Amino acid sequence: MRPHLSARMSPPPTEVWEDVCALADLVPGRGVAALVGKLQVAVFLVDDVDGKGELFALSNFDPFSEAFVLSRGIVGTRGDRLKVASPIYKQSFDLRTGESLDVPGVSVPVFGVRVVDGRVEVSHPA
């Protein structure tokens, strides 16, 4: 098993932030796919009850179907964990940690994501 890459939790020192789209391009509750360098990243906007939004970025790769599809999954909650369900076989991944909620030990990489001047930026290792 390769080490768990948790970019969001501990960005590598040489991280680069890359502009991907306007915040207005995102639909609350859905994701989009972005090419960051040569990586496919799924970016999700989750709207909060009080009207504030929160952004998440995971790898777009679904390890169960081996297809690049996570950005097209449905966002929701399991208990109090925010998650996205793969559109292929419906396994869920924690939006914060990338962990599979169905199969222990499986996870997808997470990326740093932020909003600067109405633009969405994703970090990736340089």
Partner 1 sequence: MNSFEISPRRTLVVVGNGMVGHKLLEVLLDRGATAEWDIVTFCEEGRLAYDRVGLSSFFDGTSAEELSLVQPGFFERFGLTVHVGDAVASIDTKTAKVTSRNGLTVAYDALVLATGSYPFVPPLPGNDAPGCFVYRTLDDLEAIRDYAKSVRAGAVVGGGLLGLEAANALKCLGLETHVVEFADRLMPMQVDDAGSSALRRRIEDLGVSIHTGMRTEEIVRDRRGRVRGMHFANEGPNGPIDDLKVGMVVFSAGIRPRDELAKAAGLLMGERGGVIVDQACRTSDPRIYAIGECALAPDGGTARRRIYGLVAPGYHMARVVADRILGGDAEFRGADMSTKLKLLGIDVASFGDAFATAPGAEAVTYSDPLANVYQRLVVGPPDRKQRRQVTGGMLVGDASLYQTLVQMVRGDMPTPEHPEELIFPARSGTGPVTMGVGGLSDTAVICSCNNVDKGSICSAIGRGAHTVADMKDCTSAGTGCGGCVPLVTELLRFEMKRLGLEVSNALCEHFAYSRQELFDLVRVHRITSFSELVTSHGNGKGCEICKPAVASMLASLGGGYILDGEQAALQDTNDHFLANLQRDGTYSVIPRVPGGEITPDQLIAIGQVAKDFGLYTKITGAQRIDLFGARVDQLPDIWRRLVDVGMESGHAYGKALRTVKSCVGNTWCRFGVQDSVTLAIDLELRYRGLRAPHKLKAAVSGCTRECAEAQGKDFGVIATERGWNVYVCGNGGMKPQHGVLLAADLDRETVFRYLDRFLMFYIRSADRLERTNVWFNKLEGGIEHLRRVVIDDTLGICAELEADMAHHVATYECEWKATIDDPERVKRFRSFVNSDQPDPNVVFVTERGQPRPARPGEEKPDPALLATGTGL
Q: Report the interface residues with partner 1, using CB under 8 A.
A: 1-5, 19-21, 25, 27-30, 32-35, 38-41, 43, 46, 59-61, 63-69, 72-80, 82-83, 85, 87-90, 92, 98, 100, 102-103, 105-109
Starting from the edge strand earliest in sequence, which strands make up the sheet with 53-59, in order? 31-36, 39-47, 53-59, 110-111
Q: Cβ of residue 13: shortest distance to partner 1, in angstroms?
A: 19
Q: Cβ of residue 99: shortest distance to partner 1, in angstroms?
A: 9
Which CB atom, from 13 or from 69, has the smaller least distance to partner 1? 69
